[in-house]
Amino acid sequence: MIVRATAIPLDYHPYSSTSRIVHWLTRHHGKISTLLRGALRPKSPFLGEYELFGTSELLYFQKRTGTLHSGKECALLHPRTTFRTDWRAMQAASTLSALFNKTTPDEAPQPGLFELFEELLDLAEEYGRHPQFLPWAELHFCSHHGHAPNLGPCVLCSSEKDLRFCASSGGTVCTECSKNHKLPTLECPPDVLAILRTWQRADHPRVAVKTRLSAKQENRLDTILGTFMRHHFNLPIESRNAVCNT
Q: Give the residues lining the site for Zn ion (CB under 5 A).
A: 154, 156-157, 159, 174, 177
Which of residues 89 and 151 has its CB atom nearest to Zn ion in the complex?
A: 151
Minimal distance, residue 170 CB to Zn ion, in Å: 13
CB 143 within 8 A of CB 34: no
Minimal distance, residue 169 CB to Zn ion, in Å: 10
Cα 141 to Cα 152: distance, rounded to the nearest angstrom: 19
Q: In angstroms, what is the C-alpha Rg of the chain?
A: 20
Cα 139 to Cα 132: distance, rounded to the nearest angstrom: 11
Which of residues 108 and 157 has its CB atom nearest to Zn ion in the complex?
A: 157
161: nearest Cα among 179, 173, 149: 173
137: nearest Cα among 55, 218, 199: 199
Which of residues 18 and 159 has its CB atom nearest to Zn ion in the complex?
A: 159
CB 95 within 8 A of CB 83: no
Minimal distance, residue 196 CB to Zn ion, in Å: 18
Minimal distance, residue 181 CB to Zn ion, in Å: 9
For the beta carbon of residue 13, count every other beta carbon within 10 angstroms: 8
Minimal distance, residue 147 CB to Zn ion, in Å: 21
Which of residues 148 and 156 has its CB atom nearest to Zn ion in the complex?
A: 156
Q: Residues 6 or more apart from 76 whose CB is under 8 A from it?
A: 48, 49, 50, 51, 54, 55, 56
Which of residues 75 and 157 has its CB atom nearest to Zn ion in the complex?
A: 157
